[in-house]
Amino acid sequence: MSAFLRKILLISLVGCYVPASQAELTLEITKGIESAIPIAVVPFGWTGSKDRAPEDLAPIIQADLSRSGLLKTLPVGEMLTMPSKANHVRFRNWQALGQEYLVIGEISEVVDKQYQVQFQLFNVYRGEQFLGYRLTVSEKELRRTAHHISDLIYEKLTNKKGVFGTRLAYITTTSKANKKLYKLIIADADGFEPRVIASSLEPIMSPTWSPDGKQIAYVSFENKRSAIFVQTLANGKRERVASYKGINGAPSFSPDGTRLALTLSKDGSTDIYILNLNNRSLTKITKSYGIDTEPSWSPDGKTIVYTSDRGGKPQLYTVPSNGGKAKRLTFEGDYNARGQFSLDGKNIAMVHANRGDYRIAVMDMATRTVNVLTAGRYDEAPSFSPNGEMVLYASRKGNKNVLSAVSIDGRMQQNLSFDNGDVREPAWSP
Amino acid sequence: MRLNKEVFAIALSIMILSGCSSTDEKDSGLLDDVSAVDNEKDTSTSGYSDGSLLSGEEFGSNVTIDARGLGPEFSDPTNPLSKGVIYFMYDSSQVRQDFIPVIAAHSKYLQSHPSQHIILEGHADERGSREYNIALGEQRAKSIFRMMKMQGVNSNQLEIVSYGEEKPEAEGMDEASWQQNRRVEVDYQGR
């Protein structure tokens, strides 16, 4: 096939691009916390050649902070004044509204498409500034700047790492003329700025991030057989790293990014292998007659947690990443699968089923207690947020597949639904 | 044939393009490098195009059947060869009794047509974890593989691919739909 034809094909398969500042996922908070901290984020002031700023950052910050569940934002309609400069702030007004914190800010045009953004965070009762930053950014970076500001505020007020500036990878399917189109999409953590990075008429599944966030590994059936690809996000180049006879599935990067754990069935039984991405050497680390799949690395790189049905039903096991003796990890429930370590290694999230209800559970590795976090019937594919506070997963709402997130204490829950079809297999970026 | 494939590929790519809300010049350059995909040694197909596009339904089913070199017995509903989907018992890789003759008919056909080659496509229902379901689908395909081999089919004529829960036949979330999805499809590849 000529290079020209290839190019056309590739454009058609990858070229779907949704314009910026458009959300594909709709977010809805289904369960919040009573004790959330009240904070007012005032619409930012604007100085520039146009009537208004190309993007108002305040609504983005508001949405981020309330989505966290730990902060409760004041609706703009309830604000008595909308100051954008510190010397216009009357703290008493904000005290009267029951607010503990106040965020004000300004956007000013420096030159065409270049902006200076400044914001301040105040403690309303003490009447003092907690944070103040000034940044110069391009028009394209405005949304990202808003997420960055959200992270700074969140970190200051909760002492927890903010994840508003992170991204999500997920798979969507849309049907057209009796054909299903599978897409691998990357979007901001709030569902905005979705970009299709691969798309095919055959299934795409199991997206997973490299630890530096620069690459995605996934399974594609585009040649009517499964194969694992590693794609670099910056330039879109990809490499097929596994296409053996049988299953090529469940890729998972080692914490140092040099190896990929994966599932192959080339020798007859379905086992976990470690692929060295530098020299392409392959090491088999599980040997059972049953199914061994869904490997995930511990943060120190020494242990792999995986699903095995060697005991009859699927349960989680661990094995040293250089091979060795497998140990059973889960004993509660008749189905435990797709284990994933949190980045601090303290917890493992999993799909946990009892009598046919598939839910998301988290095991505390210190005490080995299992906490069931969700109440759905078809919950699957758990993925930890990089700060370990939330678990994102796929669930069913009505007759649609949607994404949901739950805090690891189970107190907060939210839904992310995809308007145009099904969405599943979320993977939260590092 | 080669040329036809390419024309089809272009047609299909235009179809897909028109399905996008918009395209962006910068983005289209993202996946510029297919050669990285091509130079792997263990598959003969190259990149995105050939394999996945050939099964397109746009040509109509008659063309597809002709291309696979199958005779009229495959479209005769009274002939077991017309059944290309095999179903299983509840939650297992044990074939439903009424499909034993279907497997026997395909085995017999393959023995008398040694140049024919089939893919046994394993499928699972939607419950539980996707990669585990890929493995369950493969187990179902393997059990058909073993039966056909025992009935005398040369294993060179058989290949297994599992799609797990990725291609459900029924979309409902009830036992009746799930049973329809736990299946193996017999997919003739031609001579």
* pLDDT confidence of residue A177: 80
The answer to whether residues A116 and A108 touch, using CB atoms and an 8 Å cutoff, is yes
The answer to whether residues A401 and A25 touch, using CB atoms and an 8 Å cutoff, is no
Minimal-distance CA residue of chain A relative to B47? A223
CB contact under 8 A, B21 and A19: yes
Give the domain ranges of chain B. 1-59, 69-191
First and final C-alpha spacing in chain A: 38
pLDDT digits (tens, 9 = 90+) for A199-213: 999 999 999 999 999
Distance in angstroms (rounded) separating the CA atoms of residues A276 and A33: 45
Tokens, residue A75: 């609706």
Residue B20 pLDDT level (bands cut at 50, 70, 90): very low
The answer to whether residues A416 and A27 touch, using CB atoms and an 8 Å cutoff, is yes
* pLDDT confidence of residue B29: 30
Quickly list DSSP for B4-50: HHHHHHHHHHHHHHHTSS-B-HHHHTTT---HHHHT-SS-SS-TTHH
B44 in contact with chain A, both atoms CB, cutoff 8 A: no
Can you tell me which residue has the tokens 């990929």? A260
The CATH T-level fold of domain B69-191 is 60s Ribosomal Protein L30; Chain: A; (3.30.1330)
β-bridge partners, A45: A106
Angstrom distances, CA of residue A396 to CA of A400, A409, B49: 6, 21, 33
Phi and psi at residue A336, to the nearest 5°:
-130, 125
Please name the member of B31, B40, B160 whose beta carbon is closest to the beta carbon of A14: B31
Residue B70 pLDDT level (bands cut at 50, 70, 90): confident
Percent of chain A having pLDDT more than 70?
94
User: Measuring CA to CA, which residue among A395, A384, A394, A335 is closest to residue A362?
Assistant: A384
pLDDT over threshold 80, residue A23: no
Cβ neighbours around A279 below 10 Å, total? 8
Lowest mean pLDDT among A296-300, A413-417, B97-101: A413-417
Can you tell me which residue has the tokens 């058609």? A12
CB contact under 8 A, B13 and A205: no
State the smallest CA–CA distance between residue A234 and chain B in angstroms: 8
Tokens, residue A133: 């930053």
Gyration radius from chain B CA atoms? 19
ipTM confidence score:
0.89
Q: What is the mean pLDDT of residues A154-177?
A: 92
Q: What is the mean pLDDT of residues B16-44?
A: 33
pLDDT over threshold 80, residue A17: no
CB contact under 8 A, A240 and B21: no
Please name the member of A14, A294, A424 whose beta carbon is closest to the beta carbon of B28: A14
The sign of the CA dihedral A216, A219, A224, A225 is positive
CB contact under 8 A, B30 and A197: yes
Cβ neighbours around A137 below 10 Å, total? 18
Cβ neighbours around A124 below 10 Å, total? 22
Please name the member of A15, A263, A351 whose beta carbon is closest to the beta carbon of B128: A351
User: Measuring CA to CA, which residue among B191, B186, B103 is closest to residue B152?
Assistant: B103
SS3 A417: strand
Where in A344-429 does DSSP place strands (E)? 347-354, 357-364, 370-372, 380-384, 390-397, 400-407, 413-418, 422-428
Distance in angstroms (rounded) separating the CA atoms of residues A161 and A152: 9
> What structural domains does chain A harbor?
32-158 (3.40.50.10070), 167-428 (2.120.10.30)
User: Measuring CA to CA, which residue among B43, B180, B141 is closest to residue A270?
Assistant: B141
SS3 A353: strand
CB contact under 8 A, A270 and B138: yes
The answer to whether residues A182 and A229 touch, using CB atoms and an 8 Å cutoff, is no
State the smallest CA–CA distance between residue B76 and chain A in angstroms: 25
Distance in angstroms (rounded) separating the CA atoms of residues A340 and A73: 33
State the smallest CA–CA distance between residue B69 and chain A in angstroms: 20
pLDDT digits (tens, 9 = 90+) for A376-407: 999 999 999 999 999 999 999 888 899 999 99
Q: Taking CB atoms and an 8 Å cut-off, how many pairs form between chains A and B?
A: 202
Residues, chain A, total? 430
Residue A418 pLDDT level (bands cut at 50, 70, 90): confident
